[in-house]
Amino acid sequence: MHPTLACSLVLLASISIGGCARAPVGIYADASGATRYEFRSDGQVFISVLGTTVSAAYEANRDRILVSGPQGTVVLVRKADRLQGPMGLELLPQPKQPAAPRRG
């Protein structure tokens, strides 16, 4: 293999790996519990604000999560384990709920 081609392939692979982002699967909510985002692994998110829930699509792009729905697009920025949004919104990851016991 030609050395220039090999270097180009290594560079391309490192850019591709570096551009990948971990999707925020799970539930994130603000401290008051008024706003809640439930991210699913299939790119769908359910947004609940004061008891009203809408569905949207999301895409992870490095440290940004783009949430696109009927009302437009919201950009959430990942800061450590939190997601920060417009107007001071800060979403914290919520602990996973244990599965309900099965009745037999």
Question: Does residue 40 have a pLDDT over 60?
Answer: yes
In the chain, where the domains are located: 21-93
Note the maximum CA span of the chain. Answer: 66
Q: pLDDT tens for residues 47-57?
A: 999 999 999 99
Strands 64-69 and 52-61: antiparallel
What's the predicted TM-score (pTM) here?
0.72
Provide the 3-class DSSP secondary structure of residue 94: coil
Other Cβ atoms closer than 10 A to 66? 14
Tokens of 54: 């809408």
CA distance 9 to 12: 5
In the DSSP assignment, the letter for residue 19 is H
Question: Does residue 68 have a pLDDT over 90?
Answer: yes
Check if CATH label 3.40.50.720 holds for domain 21-93: no
- Residue 104 banded pLDDT, cuts 50, 70, 90: low
| Residue 79, strand partner residues | 82
Provide the 3-class DSSP secondary structure of residue 1: coil
